[in-house]
Amino acid sequence: MKTTKTFVFFFIIFFLGSSAYPAIKRQHYPCKNLVLYFHDVIYNGKNAANATSAIVGAPQWGNLTILADQFHFGNIAVFDDPITLDNNFHSVPVGRAQGMYIYDTKNTFTAWLGFTFVLNSAQHKGTINFIGADPIMVKSRDISVVGGTGDFFMHRGIATVMTDSYEGDVYFRLRVDIKFYECW
């Protein structure tokens, strides 16, 4: 009997403790995973039919058809890129990556990302919202999944972004490894 009481007491302490301090250490174990690719073809004045993105902001020394000097610092691009399950540009898209990237360093390639995956396939319907810094020259970089809707209602997590391929300043493909740690 005494043991039980001690047990229960220990329990109260433990439980109240974790309830009162939401910042308890939680396990870093994803509740859901998704690996997706998206493909960006930037408008350069000649590829209107195929372009999926366009420069819409540039610094004083830049323009809207050629990415600016100094590692494209100051360029804002708006995009509506196809998302695929594999790295093939011609695969059937499962959704669209929509938003913007901003080149934001003068002495190397980095970008700031704000975008949404709008998924609409047999497997997934809903949106995933991303924000974060993208140090492009680093092999794998982490950004935040700050929210989601539909199948991804209230989800949060981390997305690991990798440049899977690129062709000069015209095309790049990103692999996005999404790990949700809050799934609801």
| Cβ proximity to a copy of itself, 6 vs 88, nearer residue | 6
Contact between 117 and 143 under an 8 Å Cβ cutoff? The reply is no
Beta bridge partners of 111: 103, 134
Closest approach of a copy of itself to the CB of residue 93, in Å: 13
Measured between alpha carbons, how far is residue 130 from residues 30, 160, 167 in Å?
17, 11, 24
Cβ distance to a copy of itself smaller for residue 35 or 64: 64
Burial-class residue 76 by CB neighbours within 10 Å (0-12, 13-18, 19+): middle
Name which of 35 and 56 has its Cβ closer to a copy of itself. 56
CA distance 134 to 48: 26
Quick one: 62 or 173, whose CB is closer to a copy of itself? 62
Asked if 150 contacts 118 with a C-beta cutoff of 8 angstroms, the reply is: no
Closer CB to a copy of itself, 86 or 119, in the complex: 119
Instruction: Tell me how far, at minimum, the Cβ of 37 lies from a copy of itself, in Å.
Output: 18
User: Which residue reads 């509740």 in tokens?
Assistant: 31
Q: How far is the CB of 87 from a copy of itself (least distance, A)?
A: 23
Q: Least CB distance from residue 26 to a copy of itself, whole Å?
A: 5
- Residue 155 is given by DSSP the state -
Smallest separation, CB 167 to a copy of itself (Å): 21
